[in-house]
Amino acid sequence: MQNHSKLTIDIDTTELTPAQLRAIKTINMLMAHIVTTEDEADFFDGTAEVMRICASLVKQSKFCQGNSSIPYGDQALEFSIELLTELMESSSVVKYDN
């Protein structure tokens, strides 16, 4: 396996607000820290922060803003939590490595 020292991710930011762009950068930074840290507090706090920021971005999405009379953001988050809970309870590990 080849070891890479840097990963570059291209994202079209045309429709993103500055706050959304900062959140995405923070998520990427935190994910890199979470998968490399050996500190328990960093691991748990970082994981919680990533999930919090992801939830915030879902609720700020264009889809949710365009449909403000229906709490689609909350519904999407509840749906995601249910699926994650099922995966955790069945001890299923999802791998996206080809």
pLDDT one-digit tens code per residue, 4-61: 788 888 999 999 999 999 999 999 999 999 999 999 999 999 999 999 999 999 999 9
The whole-model pTM stands at 0.81
User: Who contacts 42 (Cβ-Cβ below 8 Å, separation ≥6)?
Assistant: 33, 34
pLDDT one-digit tens code per residue, 68-92: 788 999 999 999 999 988 888 887 6
E strand or H helix at 53: helix 40-59
Whole-angstrom Cα distance, residue 91 to residue 78?
Answer: 20
Whole-angstrom Cα distance, residue 92 to residue 84?
Answer: 10
